[in-house]
Structure 1
Amino acid sequence: MTPRGASNRIAELLRHQIRDGVLDPGSALPSEVGLAEKHGVSRGTVRVALQALAEEGLIEVQPGIGRRVVGGSGVDRSTAYKRIAEDLAGLIANGTFSPGSRLPSEADLVAQYRVSRNTVRRALKVLSDSEYVVIRHGIGALVSPVNC
């Protein structure tokens, strides 16, 4: 049985490694299996730790590749969601997307910007909080008539 708080301890250890530069921006994290074996826990425990780091924007999942520390690769991924939000806000402001029209899907934005789904969701949340868009579950992000 895994000790209580093991996922928190693993997440904290990885946080420190990222902050201290042991894990460089753009570098791949060890696999779930590798981390589980190293810490003597289940893969599920490791997944919980990694999910926490992804939600904090410290790491991202790259489908078919694995998890990487944000940053590097010529793109500052720690601010990628801001760049996406700014790009979309500019397209809304210049009329590319009219009031009531749908923005590209999360999947399309993930592919276009080569970021994780969490990064796209953070960008859409920024736009929603700024009232540029209204997010409708099952429909997507719609341009709000408030800012048009």
Structure 2
Amino acid sequence: MAPRGSYLQIADELRRRLAGGELQPGSMLPSEQALAHEFSVSRGTARSAFAVLAEEGLIEVLPGQGRRIAGSVDSAPRAPTTAWEKVAADLRGRLQADPGSRALLPSEAELAAEHGVSRNTVRRAYRQLVEEGLVVVRHGSGAFPAHRRGASTAHDR
């Protein structure tokens, strides 16, 4: 493998394996050391490839365990294991506790302080809730519960 941009080539190969079904959602990825050995690169290069995929939301870092493909193996609910999943679960609980609310949800900074996580972790949690259709994020305004049954609010006007 060419030294320049090796981490991007490794990330491309892992994306190909994911798209081809060789890597399944919820499955663990090889360690940095194993990936470095497979592609004959340094651990730092393997770490950079993982960082690209993590930034894209394709993989998750499980502290003390390794990295896994994002998503669940089955549709059965599972306990949150990552920090962003825990933040998302907390926000889901808040939304379920007050289903009719149109109130502004906590800011990234508030949630980061409350959960002792980074703002990037909170962003990932909000991104998941947006993908689930539970939350709408309006840049410059904040995050709000998603509309149900076509209702509108003053925020839409």
TM-score range, shorter chain: 0.5 to 0.7
Larger RCO (CA within 8 A; separation ≥ 6):
1
The Cα RMSD (Å) is: 4.2
Shift of 1:120: 2.1
Q: Is the 8 A contact 2:24 2:73 kept in 1?
A: no
User: How many corresponding residue pairs?
Assistant: 126
- 3-state SS in 2 of match to 1:28: coil
Q: Is the 8 A contact 2:24 2:69 kept in 1?
A: yes
Shift of 1:119: 2.6
- 3-state SS in 2 of match to 1:60: strand
Question: Where does 1:88-107 land on structure 2 (aligned, <5 Å)?
Answer: 90=95, 94-95=100-101, 105-106=111-112
Shift of 1:71: 1.5
Shift of 1:74: 3.8
Question: Where does 1:24-35 land on structure 2 (aligned, <5 Å)?
Answer: 24-35=24-35
Question: Could you say if the C-alpha distance between residues 22 and 3 of structure 1 is closer, same or farther in structure 2, counting changes exceeding 3 Å?
Answer: same
Shift of 1:39: 0.9
Question: Could you say if the C-alpha distance between residues 127 and 89 of structure 1 is closer, same or farther in structure 2, counting changes exceeding 3 Å?
Answer: farther
Residues 3-55 of structure 1, C-alpha deviations (whole Å, 9 max, x = no match) = 10100110000000011110111100000000011111111111111111111
Question: Where does 1:66-145 land on structure 2 (aligned, <5 Å)?
Answer: 66-74=66-74, 84=88, 87=92, 90=95, 94-95=100-101, 105-106=111-112, 108=115, 117=121, 119-120=124-125, 122-123=127-128, 127-129=136-138, 131-133=141-143
Q: Which residue number in structure 2 is paired with residue 20 of structure 1?
A: 20
Shift of 1:98: 5.9
Taking structure 1 as the reference length, what is the TM-score of the superposition? Answer: 0.61
Taking structure 2 as the reference length, what is the TM-score of the superposition? Answer: 0.58
Residues 50-101 of structure 1, C-alpha deviations (whole Å, 9 max, x = no match) = 111111111111112110001224459xxx98xx498388468745x96696
| 5+ residue gaps, structure 1 | 111-115, 134-145
Q: Is the 8 A contact 2:28 2:68 kept in 1?
A: yes
